[in-house]
Amino acid sequence: MTEVCIIGAGIHPFGRTDGVSGLQQGVFAVRQALADAGVEWPDMDIAYGGSSAAGNADIMVNDLGLTGLPFINVANGCATGGSALYGAYASIKAGQADLALAVGFDKHPRGAFDPRPSDWGLPDWYGETGLMLTTQFFALKLRRYMEQFGISPVTLGRVAEKAFENGALAPHSWRKQPVDLDTIMNAQMVNDPLTKFMFCAPAEGAVGLILASAKKARELGIAAPVTLKAATVRTRPPGSFEVFSPSLDIDRGPSPTVIAAKAAFEAAGLGPGDIDVAQLQDTESGAEIMHMAENGFCADGEQEQWLAEGRTGLGGKLPVNTDGGCLACGEPIGASGLRQVYENVVQLQGRAGARQVEGARTAYSHVYGAPGLSAVTILQR
Amino acid sequence: MPEMLADIAEGLLTHGAAPALIGGRDRSTGRIVFPCPADAERFEAVELPREGRIWSWTVQRFRPKSPPYTGPEAFEPYAIAYVELLGATIVETRLAGFAFDALKVGLPCQLVTEDFAGKRSYAFGPAEAGDGSRGDGIAGEGA
C-alpha cells in the first residue's frame, strides 16, 4: 500500500488570543501548512477537522475557498485532532486522495470544563454531589498508580518542571516562564496529590497538517519527507479506568492507550526502543508518568528513576513533550493532538531550535481523551 | 438520618435500618455495576456490600461548578474515593468522617447515609471498630 507523508505543518500559537475566533486560528494554521507544503488550497482532495467548542471545521471553506472538496467534521473529544489525522491518513492509504488536510482548533473559556451528567448518560445525582470532575478522575487514577508502583510526589513535580523548561523554548507555547520545583510542589493543591502547576488548563490554538501520498510528495519535489509510519485510534477495552465512572470493575483491564500503542508499533514494524522523541498526553503530570508505561517506553514504576535522572528531558535518552506538552501549551481540545504531531514534524526536520533533539529520526505521539480513546502516530524521516 | 428526607435519586439506596447501595448484575455475565442501569431485562438489582476498602482517594479542593453541583455555596474541601466492595464492584463515593491526612489506600470503610443539600445521599465513613464482617448482600457470590 502507498506510504503517507506529512509535507506541511502550520500552527497558530497556543494560549489566549483575544479577538481571534477558534475558527480563524484554524484558518491561520491551514494557510501556514499549505505554504509550508508549497501547495494551494484548490490542490487539496479531502479535509478532516474539528473542534470541541469553537464550531464546525467545514465552515473554513468560506475563507479558504469553495473548491467543492469533501470536508469531514470530526468530534472525538480530546482525540479530535488525532481522529482527523487518522481520517486523512486512511484516505490516502486507500488511494482516495493524494493530498489531504487534517486540522484541529479550539477556544475554551477560562476555568475547568463543566460537563452535564445527561450528556454522558449519567444520572443527575452524580453531578449534584460533586463527583463529576475531570480533575478528580486524573487524581484518582494517579493515586492508585502511585500506590501500586511506588511513584512519589516529587516525580510529579519534576514532570511539570521539565514542561515549563521546554515550553520556554517553544515559540508556539503558552507558558514561557520556567517554574522551579519548590514552587511547583508548594503551590495550591487542586486535587491531591496534584498542585495547580501539575494541571494543564483549557486554552486556544490551532494546527493544520498537509498529508500526501509518497508519489505526490515526489512529484512536488520534496527530497526527504516525513513519513507517517503508523496512525492508530483505539477505544477502550473492558476494565479500563475512564473519566466519569460511578463504578469500576474489580477485574481491571488495559487502557485504550496500551492497545493503540501496540497496534501502532506493529504497523510501523518498530518498537519503543526505536523512538528518539515522544509527545505523550500530559493533561496533568501523572498522566505523562502513566503514559510512559502504557505506551511501552518503560516498566511501571521505572518512571521514578527516569525522572530523577532526567531521561525524559532535552538531552536525555528519550525526550518527552519537547514543547512543554499540554502543561506548557494548554489544552485546546480539538488542536491538542495535532500539536504533538506538529512538534514531531519540526523535530524530525531539524527546525526545533533551542529544543532540538539532536539526530532525531523517529518520533512518537500519543493523545488520550474522554470517554476512553487514544490516538498514536509514529513518524520517521 | 431522619427518614423524612427524600432520596437524591430513586433506586440508589435501600431503606431500613442498614441501608445498602443498589447495584445492577448483568444477567448474562454476572458483572456488577453501580448504579443499577434502567435496563431491567439485562440487569438485575442487587444490594451491594456495606463494607469495603479505599481503592483510591483524592480531596476536592475547589468548589465544582453549579450546575450540576448542588452543595453549599460556602465551600469546604471534601474527600472522595473509589471503594472496593469485595466480590462486587468498586464504587465512587464521597467520604465522611475521615481526616484528610489520614487517608490512604486500603483503609476499611463502611456505607453511611447523609443529608446532601436536603436529600438523602450516600457516603463512606470509617469502619466501626470490631465490625470485621464483610457485610451481607452479594459478597462472595459475584462474577
Contact B33, B90 (CB under 8 A): no
Looking at the complex, report in whole angstroms how far the Cα of residue B3 sits from the nearest Cα belonging to chain A: 19
- A143: nearest CA partner in chain B: B56
Name which of B78, B89, B105 is nearest A250 (Cβ-Cβ): B89
Contact B121, A125 (CB under 8 A): yes
- Asked whether residue B130 carries a pLDDT value surpassing 80, the answer given is no
Beta-strand pair B89-94/A247-248: antiparallel
Distance (Å, whole) CA A274 – CA A83? 24
Contact A140 B57 (CB under 8 A): yes
- A139: nearest CA partner in chain B: B58
Give the residue numbers in A contacting B (CB under 8 Å), as ranges.
111-112, 114, 116-117, 123-125, 127-133, 136, 139-141, 143-144, 147, 188-193, 245-251
The sign of the CA dihedral A102, A108, A111, A113 is negative
Contact B61 A188 (CB under 8 A): yes
User: Collapsing DSSP states into helix, strand and coil, what is residue A165?
Assistant: helix
- B33: nearest CA partner in chain A: A247
Average pLDDT over residues B78-96: 97
Beta-strand pair B108-116/B51-60: antiparallel
Beta-strand pair A362-369/A277-280: parallel
Distance (Å, whole) CA A307 – CA B55? 26
**Residue A154 in domain:** no
Distance (Å, whole) CA A16 – CA A18? 6
Name which of A128, A130, A250 is nearest B78 (Cβ-Cβ): A130
Distance (Å, whole) CA A213 – CA A3? 6
**Residue A185 in domain:** no
Contact B71 A129 (CB under 8 A): yes
Would you call the peptide bond into A254 cis, given omega within 30 degrees of 0 as the criterion? Answer: no
Beta-strand pair A373-380/A226-235: antiparallel
- B142: nearest CA partner in chain A: A250
- B11: nearest CA partner in chain A: A123
Contact A160, A179 (CB under 8 A): yes
- Residue position matching grid coordinates 486507500: A94
Looking at the complex, report in whole angstroms how far the Cα of residue A127 sits from the nearest Cα belonging to chain B: 5
Distance (Å, whole) CA A338 – CA B63? 32
Residues in chain B: 143
**Residue A187 in domain:** no
- Asked whether residue B90 carries a pLDDT value surpassing 80, the answer given is yes
The sign of the CA dihedral A245, A251, A256, A261 is positive
Chain B residues closer than 8 Å to A193 by CB: 58
Looking at the complex, report in whole angstroms how far the Cα of residue A250 sits from the nearest Cα belonging to chain B: 5
- Residue position matching grid coordinates 504497523: A267
Q: From the first residue on, what is the mean pLDDT of each consecutive set of 10 residues in chain A (381 residues)?
A: 93 96 98 98 98 95 98 91 95 97 93 80 95 95 98 98 98 97 98 97 96 97 95 93 94 95 98 98 97 98 98 97 98 95 98 97 94 94 96
Q: For residue A320, what is the domain's CATH number?
A: 3.40.47.10
Distance (Å, whole) CA B79 – CA B124? 10
**Residue A39 in domain:** yes
**Residue A184 in domain:** no
Distance (Å, whole) CA A77 – CA A337? 10
Average pLDDT over residues B93-99: 97
Looking at the complex, report in whole angstroms how far the Cα of residue B113 sits from the nearest Cα belonging to chain A: 13
Chain B residues closer than 8 Å to A147 by CB: 56, 105
- A193: nearest CA partner in chain B: B58
- φ, ψ of residue A286 to 5 degrees: the values are -65, -30
Looking at the complex, report in whole angstroms how far the Cα of residue A332 sits from the nearest Cα belonging to chain B: 20
Cα→Cα distances B2→B6, B36, B114, Å: 10, 25, 10
Contact B89 A188 (CB under 8 A): no
- φ, ψ of residue B102 to 5 degrees: the values are -100, -5
The sign of the CA dihedral A321, A322, A327, A332 is negative
**Residue A78 in domain:** yes
Chain B residues closer than 8 Å to A189 by CB: 59, 61
Residue among A249, A232, A270 nearest A363 (CA)? A270
Residues near A349 by Cβ (< 8 Å), separated by ≥ 6? A226, A381
**Residue A174 in domain:** no
Tally of CB atoms within 10 A around A177: 9
Average pLDDT over residues B78-88: 97
- φ, ψ of residue B106 to 5 degrees: the values are 100, -10
Chain A residues closer than 8 Å to B55 by CB: 144, 248
B11 close contact with A: CB closer than 8 A: no
Chain B residues closer than 8 Å to A108 by CB: none
Q: What is the pTM of this model?
A: 0.93
Q: What is the pLDDT of residues B28-72, one digit of tens each?
A: 999 999 999 999 999 999 999 999 999 999 999 999 999 999 999
pLDDT of residue A371: 83
The complex's ipTM? 0.90
Cα three-residue angle A62-A63-A68, rounded to 5 degrees:
50
Cα→Cα distances A241→A171, A244, B55, Å: 35, 9, 13
**Residue A69 in domain:** yes
Q: How many domains does chain A have?
A: 1
User: Which residues form the domain of A266?
Assistant: 4-110+200-380
Contact B69 A190 (CB under 8 A): no
- φ, ψ of residue A132 to 5 degrees: the values are -110, 70
Distance (Å, whole) CA A338 – CA A81? 5
Contact B68 A147 (CB under 8 A): no
